[in-house]
Amino acid sequence: MKPLNKVLINNDTNLNPIWIMRQAGRYLPEFREIRKQNPDFINLCLNDNLASEITLQPLKRFDLDAAIIFSDILMLPYGLGQKVAFEKNFGPKLGELNLNEVIKIDEIDFVQKIHRIYKAIKKVSTSNILKEKNTIGFVGAPWTLLVYMINQQSPKKNLKKDFFKDEFLINRILLIIEKFLKIHIKNQIDYGANIIQIFDSWAGLLDEKDLPNYVYAPTLNLVNYVKSLKVPVICFPREIKNYKEFCNIVKPDAISIDYNVDPKKILDDIKIPVQGGLDPKILLTDYVNLKKEALKYLEIFKNHPYIFNLGHGILPDTNPEMVKNLIKIVKNY
């Protein structure tokens, strides 16, 4: 059985497998070389040779237990015909959302636009490096994708003032997102992903009263769908206040926690496997501090099924040597 499955399916507490959010990417010099030659991010995600090579780069360097496909949650709106571009020092910019156009998209159009992601997953999952390791596919949660599609950019500051004004539009788009997320998930699994992670990066923007409509119900539908395909599913509802309620309602196979959360409280509240938590900024400090902080999580979860990870994506300024140190600390624990 592959390492993450031991934790996710068997609730094994005798090991702490490790992978790192955004492990395939910006902090690795070999990735930056490829990126220099390929400035268009979307095209890079759709180049199955390069995307699979990038996915495997960290596995060639480090003793990680899983690969996560090099892709992006915004490949979904892209597949639905919305313009998506990534601007340096700004982030994603999306074009106008035309519901009449989106409604015309069928499964064949959608898959044709992004099928090379699946080809990349196939190359990764059948590579010798991953014989004993997991291949993670992923999607954005419906709420987070809705935010990008309507807001047309990252809502770091806030949502558009009139974000919620057109309830018909919002509900219609949520249904479309859910339909195509299921197609996207099924294809990733068919091509070799054996775990799915659902990233709800903007769950923390909502008031408690809005979580049932926008986070719990749509994410639960996806979780049940992934489970029906006999594959474990991990949820990362970043910056929500009530992880216990989320787990009780959505029932993922594991919950990924962000670095603002008290891990001791998580231990008291949550029975399912836990993933993550370490602040990515710790990797920018020194070995002594890294060891202290990593051991804190390993100690707290020592009798609880736990997958080691960060509480958010690895930062671009991270020294690969520190990643190597972190993996050693976890493996030697």
Render pLDDT for 174-186 as a digit per residue (tens, 0 to 9).
999 999 999 999 9
Q: What is the mean pLDDT of residues 79-90?
A: 92
In a domain, 249, yes or no: yes
pLDDT at 15 over 90: yes
What's the token pair of residue 9? Answer: 């399916």
In a domain, 221, yes or no: yes
Instruction: Name the H helices within the chain.
Output: 3-8, 29-37, 41-45, 48-61, 75-79, 99-104, 107-125, 142-151, 167-190, 211, 217-228, 243-250, 263-269, 287-300, 320-332
pLDDT confidence of residue 297: 98
Q: What is the mean pLDDT of residues 247-262?
A: 98
- CA 28/CA 70 separation, integer angstroms: 13
In a domain, 7, yes or no: no
pLDDT confidence of residue 156: 81
Q: Which domain holds residue 243?
A: 19-257
pLDDT confidence of residue 196: 98
- SS3 letters across 278-298: ECHHHHHCCHHHHHHHHHHHH
In a domain, 273, yes or no: no
Q: The CATH number of the domain where 113 resides is what?
A: 3.20.20.210
pLDDT confidence of residue 39: 94
Specify which residues 326 forms β-bridges with.
Answer: none
What's the token pair of residue 154? Answer: 């990252």
- CA 18/CA 304 separation, integer angstroms: 15
Q: What is the mean pLDDT of residues 191-205?
A: 97
Q: What is the mean pLDDT of residues 167-173?
A: 93
Higher pLDDT, 166 or 8: 8
Please answer whether residues 202 and 238 qualify as being in contact, where contact means their C-beta atoms are separated by less than 8 angstroms: yes
- CA 286/CA 238 separation, integer angstroms: 26
- Number of structural domains (the chain) is 1
pLDDT at 157 over 80: no
Residue 159: pLDDT band (50, 70, 90) is confident
The pLDDT mean for the chain works out to: 96
In a domain, 239, yes or no: yes
Q: What are the pLDDT digits (tens) for 137-149?
A: 999 999 999 999 9
In a domain, 270, yes or no: no
Specify which residues 140 forms β-bridges with.
Answer: 199
In a domain, 230, yes or no: yes
Q: What are the pLDDT digits (tens) for 320-332?
A: 999 999 999 999 9
Q: What is the mean pLDDT of residues 183-197?
A: 98
| Residue that the structure tokens 């519901």 belong to | 99
In a domain, 248, yes or no: yes
C-alpha distances in Å from residue 135, one per residue of 15, 76, 120, 232, 289? 18, 20, 11, 12, 30
- CA 233/CA 155 separation, integer angstroms: 26
Radius of gyration, alpha carbons of the chain: 19
Stretch (H or E) spanning 239? none
Q: What are the pLDDT digits (tens) for 91-113?
A: 899 999 999 999 999 999 999 99
